[in-house]
Amino acid sequence: MTFLSQYRELFALPQFGSSLFAAVAGKLKPGISAVALLLEVAHYRGLGQAAVVVSVSALAGATVPLRGRLMDGYGYTLVMFPGLVAHLGALIVLVWNESTHGSFAITVVCAFIASASLPPIYIVTRLMWGAMTTDDLRRSILSLDAVLTDVGYIVGPTIAAVLVVAVAPWAGLAASALLTTIATLLLLSRKLPHQHRQVRSAERHWLGPLRDRAVRRTMVAVVAFFVAVRAIELAFPAWAQQHDAPLMSGVLLSCMSVGSMAGGLALGALPAKRASRATFPVTLAALSAGTLLVAAASLSWTAILIVAAAIMGMAVGPSFVALWATVGDLSPENMAAETQSWISSFMSLGGAVGAAASGVVVQALGPGALLLLAAVALALASGLAHLAISGRTKTSEQAPGVDTSRVVTSEVQ
């Protein structure tokens, strides 16, 4: 079938099977690790202290841009392999300390070290995809990557819970460690991505890629994007609570996830020329319109809201695909890993702001108003993304001898 020709070409690439296995392992890991850590500590100390440990672990995630900068400067092997050793060591000490009812401070420190040293598998995976594929296949592989991310966050927590209940409190963390090890070693064995070592000079600005105005605008767009994502995620439970139907929160979130996977797969199956029209500003605008549809449906019958949630979700997956493609195009010279790393940090910032704002809006105005806020945030993100891309395009036209809009492939050769 012509519709599936893009995916057939992907699976025909050399060593694609092992690369896909590494990606799957890396996608399952985040969904397993947070729940596994929570359940491991809660088994011995209760949910209150377990929540503190998980929060400290999440806080250590702010060090991802530093790890990205180190990878750009020293190479992936010299950063990822020692990081893997430190990560595994910290998890072993944490599990031992919990099983022997040791100091809570040791558990907290180990959780921080394990998170701060974790090899950024998802970043390297996307850079690997960029190095493996041509422009014709890049959106297809990024679409598949986005779908795998959705699957990982759906399946991962279930795997962690089953392992903890059926095997032992430490089993979830053991599975997380195993997946991290497999993904890291497979990625490093592929020797992808590979960069020439940067030349150290006073010319490198301390802001790194954030010195670039187009990158800064994109990061602000990412914050607005994730303010909206968090608002949508919280609007569904608020609606369910308002209508005395607590189970509907899970149904609505699942429908959005299914729509997201369907949209991502559909985008990846399109020919490159058609898929390239789904730019970051365009997908965000479509998601904003879909959110308005959901806001209107929230005032109607439940069945209509379910359908609207699935339709809106079809723009979520493509928005992530377009984001990764845009970041790859805008990454400054020899800063691909750090640029990708900053995206994760700004996603977390947007999610935190969105959660705080959502609580206020829901209590004051209700879930419908929260969905409207999300739609406005998405429209703002779309405008900022358009400014970033158009600004870079104008710069390229004014300086035709300088290639300022490179793809990720040029950064990893």
Read off the pLDDT of residues 358-387 as tens digits, 9 standing for 90 and up. Answer: 888 988 899 999 999 999 999 999 999 999
**What is the rounded CA–CA span in Å between residue 33 and residue 188?**
22
Give the span between the Cα atoms of 217 and 322, in whole angstroms.
15
Q: Which tops the pLDDT comparison, 307 or 274?
A: 307
What number is the average pLDDT over the span 100-109?
95
- pLDDT bucket at 393, cuts 50 / 70 / 90: low
pLDDT computed for residue 345 by the predictor = 86
Residue 60 — pLDDT band, cuts 50, 70, 90? confident
Planar angle of CA 231, 146, 287, nearest 5 degrees: 40
Closest CA to 218 of 62, 57, 326: 326
pLDDT of residue 305: 93
What is the residue-wise DSSP string for 56-97? HHHHHGGGHHHHHHHHHHH-HHHHHHHHHHHHHHHHHHHHHH
User: Which H or E element spans position 194?
Assistant: none
pLDDT band at 41 (very low <50, low <70, confident <90, very high): very high
Give the list of residues 6+ apart from residue 4 with CB closer than 8 angstroms, or none. Answer: 269
Enclosing H/E stretch for 404: none
Question: What does the block give as tokens for 290?
Answer: 């879909």
| Percent of the chain surpassing pLDDT 90 | 39
Closest CA to 142 of 330, 320, 345: 320
Which tokens hold the place of 341? 């790393």
Among the residue ranges 163-177, 208-222, 297-311, the one predicted with the least confidence is: 208-222
Per-position b or e across 375-404, b if 16+ CB within 10 A of its CB: bbbbbbbbbbbbbbbeebeeeeeeeeeeeb
pLDDT of the residue at 82: 95
Return the closest-CA partner of residue 380 out of 355, 360, 358, 350.
Answer: 350
Tell whether the model's pLDDT for residue 406 goes beyond 50: no
What are the residues whose beta carbons fall under 8 Å from the beta carbon of 207, sequence distance 6 or more?
none
pLDDT of 404 reads 41
Residue 355, burial from CB neighbour count under 10 angstroms (0-12, 13-18, 19+): middle
Measured distance CA(170)–CA(262) in Å, rounded: 35
pLDDT exceeds 70 at position 409: no
CA–CA dist 375, 227 (Å, integer): 10
Q: Which residue has the higher pLDDT, 209 or 175?
A: 175
Give the pair of three-digit tokens for residue 286: 């479509």
CA 67, CA 64: separation in Å to the nearest integer? 5
Helix, strand, coil abundance in the chain, percent, nearest 5: 80, 0, 20
**Selection from 40, 25, 34, 96 nearest residue 61 by Cα:** 34
Position 62 confidence tier, pLDDT thresholds 50, 70, 90: confident
